[in-house]
Amino acid sequence: MTHSRAQAKPSGNWLALKKKASISSTKSSKSQSGDDRPRKRQRSERQTSVATVSSVDSAEFKHASSSKASAFVSPSAADLPASKNGESLPWLRQMILGELEYTTAQQAPGKYLALDCEMVGVGIDGAESSLARVSLVNYYGAVQLDEFVRQRERVVDYRTQYSGIRPADMVNAKPFNEVQAKVAELLKDRILVGHAVFNDLKALLLSHPRPQTRDTQHLAGKHKLTRSRYPALRNLVQQELGMTIQSGEHSSVTDARATMALYRLHRKEWERGKRMPLPELLGAISKGNSKKRKHDSVDGQESDPTTEFPGGGRKGISSGLSVVVKRSWNHKTEEGVEERSHSSAGKKKGSTQWWKQLGDGPAKGSISSKAR
């Protein structure tokens, strides 16, 4: 009976069960080895890895582009004219990008200087701003000063994404007093151009005469270049020059050049009605006094230049001076009484000294005997 059982064939249910068990064991071994992962999961992981690589590449490209220049010409520049108000827009764009070659005369400071500063964060959570970089460019965009400022306090936030400043920039930074003195010397008797320039002057602890200051933010709002009363520099440059600046890390040199380009573009309009700076005003007055005065004409004929008029001035025009009568004082010390007398040139023969007769009459306020 035992022999019959050994020779018995397995049933169909047993074969099916064995086959199913082998298939399940094969799938489990493949899943453990990782060769048969779901396609959907592989696709998602592949997309994640590609996105990570692309983000790293874009960050590196952004850093590389911002280190070279923080401005570029946008496609909207094609819609703008080649020139405006006598200024070439392509030339101004090259000036902002720093692509110009300057002559010796164009490298001099000149009459106009544009200022821009960059800040870092100090204090609690880096909320307090501290001056870290100062840049000055002239009328043609040539750099006159570009210095990093040494910090007296610990820098909490370098604000690199906005300021473009890193800890390595502070290695050769100069003291605040030295940079401040250089800026003050360069700005002396010159016209200062800046965008919200009062913030830069406040950071430098400097002041500048108002007639010699040109704030592009104030002037653009006053002349209604944009709807905003206090437009941002990047918006003005985009609108007027078709350029994009401050897209990545900021550069104080680029911002100063952009400010000067805006001022040059609207200088004639913005200078109308401006008070003349004091040095120019004094020069104009001295120049006008050195020239001969033109005299009024009567019936088309000029009056005699040798003719003198009372108090000076021209015929028909009051000089505003009154006639002054010269008097002299004679001090007599016999009785300690001071008496005034006319000068000898003004005396006439037979004139009486009427003031000496005042004492013979009745005193002021008394009643005379005749009246009684």
pLDDT tens, N- to C-terminus, the chain (372 residues): 445 555 555 566 666 776 667 666 555 555 555 554 545 444 444 444 434 433 434 433 344 344 344 676 766 666 788 889 899 999 999 999 999 999 999 999 999 999 999 999 999 999 999 999 999 999 999 999 999 999 999 999 999 998 999 999 999 999 999 999 999 999 999 999 999 999 999 999 999 999 999 999 999 999 999 889 999 999 999 999 999 888 888 899 999 999 999 999 999 999 986 665 556 666 666 666 655 455 444 444 444 544 544 544 455 555 554 455 455 555 544 444 444 444 454 555 556 677 766 666 555 555 555 544
pTM of the shown model: 0.58
Amino acid at 69: A
Question: At 263, which helix (H) or strand (E)?
Answer: helix 252-265
Structural domains in the chain, CATH included, are 83-269 (3.30.420.10)
Per-residue pLDDT at 362 = 59
Per-residue pLDDT at 290 = 59
CB distance 85 to 269 below 8 Å: yes
Per-residue pLDDT at 282 = 63
Query: Which tokens in the block code for residue 241?
Result: 């020059």
Amino acid at 312: G
- Which residue has 């009363």 as its token pair? 229
Q: Please classify residue 69 by burial: count the beta carbons closer than 10 Å to its beta carbon, then call 0-12 exposed, 13-18 middle and 19+ buried.
A: middle
Per-residue pLDDT at 201 = 97
Per-residue pLDDT at 278 = 56
Per-residue pLDDT at 82 = 86
**Count of other CB atoms within 10 angstroms of residue 247:** 14
Per-residue pLDDT at 288 = 63
Per-residue pLDDT at 79 = 74
Phi-psi region of 180 (alpha: psi -120 to 50; beta: other; left: phi over 0): alpha
Per-residue pLDDT at 246 = 83
Query: Which tokens in the block code for residue 28?
Result: 């489990």
**What is the CB-side half-sphere exposure of residue 214 using CA atoms within 13 A?**
32
Per-residue pLDDT at 309 = 46
Per-residue pLDDT at 270 = 93
CB distance 249 to 70 below 8 Å: yes
Query: Which tokens in the block code for residue 174?
Result: 């100069």
Q: 39-60: per-residue pLDDT in tens? A: 544 444 444 443 443 343 443 3
Amino acid at 169: D
